[in-house]
Structure 1
């Protein structure tokens, strides 16, 4: 792995971002070792995943405890990563998204959430705002299953949209 990451660094890629949430196989020691051996900046996430992957401990936390956990996780992580079911968010996922909004308000952290469709995306944005989060600090990931892109369910505020295009093979915003 180190040889591969060194090749990536040699291509002038300075940073690797791993978006694996806290309870889903995140290996902090491996990230630190990779950064030390390659000179790459390695950014990891903290957070929770989809409804079926929420542990009993997480399900038992109220929103304040979840937000505190995200804030503590941000001591080592660079952002909060959440996951929601394609037809979600479910009750547990909604609590996690609201808690992430609260944690983001306190820390200024970016929060990313993968969903699959535009409907759940808007529901997660709404939950994030209900928790006190600024939607400009919220990234919706994975709308690959959406079949109706020409007509979004509601207009996107300009400050909440980043359009990424490729110029000369490199992404630009």
Structure 2
């Protein structure tokens, strides 16, 4: 958010969070207060994280200029997303859902190369600027699918992010609803020329299947584990078991960790629990006791740095 830097300098990175997010699916859970979101980011830093990915894509209340100010104030390095979420996050008459693939490519490319819009509108409008007055650019692309479904809109988004990723060198994050359709997403992106090693599959741990996960890592994909602190769906112990088995059978260089807390009611600074600090303060120590601190460093330092680095031969400029 504050300009290009070597990914090796990011330090410990939470690969999936949100500082701003407004969606019709999350009524009453809006993240829309710069001061509160900044305070929450400061808690993440205090708990030991040096960087995060802001995974809010187009049209969902993102505020890039505010995120840049938060980054400067808290010294938290932030990589912002472009792209679009799964279809249900947009009302039926939302302008983005009517966009063709070429329009999406143009919009997402501009976000990466020239700067994110200050406010998401159909005509993009002015570019957001950071505290230094420089444009705030996106450094990762996002797509999303429904539960065992890739709608026509979602297929257009996948095609668009694949094309933009190839041209700019940034990686792609894909929201898998309940961890479904991982192979189908990788196949769709491969048909559009994007290899699995430039893709991180978010929420793969909503389907606790270490055999599947190991196979996906051997295919080259990054796996995003981000389901901790959701005890109604699965206890952290089950996630730890699955992760440990995946690391043993799969490629440990292809796993990244995030919290995806993503709700006003779950942010301490907004009056909720457990907050962004849960991942570094609660989950990582338990994981270190299982697999060792060196493996935790690999998952939170080395692997995110590799994922977020621009592909050699491509350029944002």
In the TM superposition, 1:37-116 aligns within 5 A as 37-54=73-90, 56-75=94-113, 76-116=137-177
- Structure 1 window deviating more from structure 2 (17-26 vs 51-60): it is 51-60
For 2:51 and 2:105, locate their aligned partners in 1 and report how far apart those are by CA, in whole Å.
Answer: 27
Q: Per-residue displacement from partner, 1:137-165 (whole Å, max 9, x unpaired)?
A: 11101024426x25539943443351466
In the TM superposition, 1:1-173 aligns within 5 A as 1=36, 2-54=38-90, 56-75=94-113, 76-117=137-178, 119-146=180-207, 149=209, 152=212, 155-156=215-216, 157-161=218-222, 162-163=254-255, 166=288, 167-168=292-293, 170-173=296-299
Which protein shows a greater Rg? 2
**Number of aligned residue pairs:** 172
How far is the alpha carbon of 1:18 from its aligned partner? 1.2
Native 8 Å contact 2:86 2:175 kept in 1: no
Q: Normalized against structure 2, the TM-score is what?
A: 0.48
Q: Which runs of 5+ in 1 are unaligned?
A: none
Matched residue SS, 2:190: helix
Q: Which runs of 5+ in 2 are unaligned?
A: 1-35, 114-136, 223-253, 257-286, 300-317
User: CA 1:92–1:5 in structure 2 vs 1: closer, same or farther (change >3 Å)?
Assistant: closer
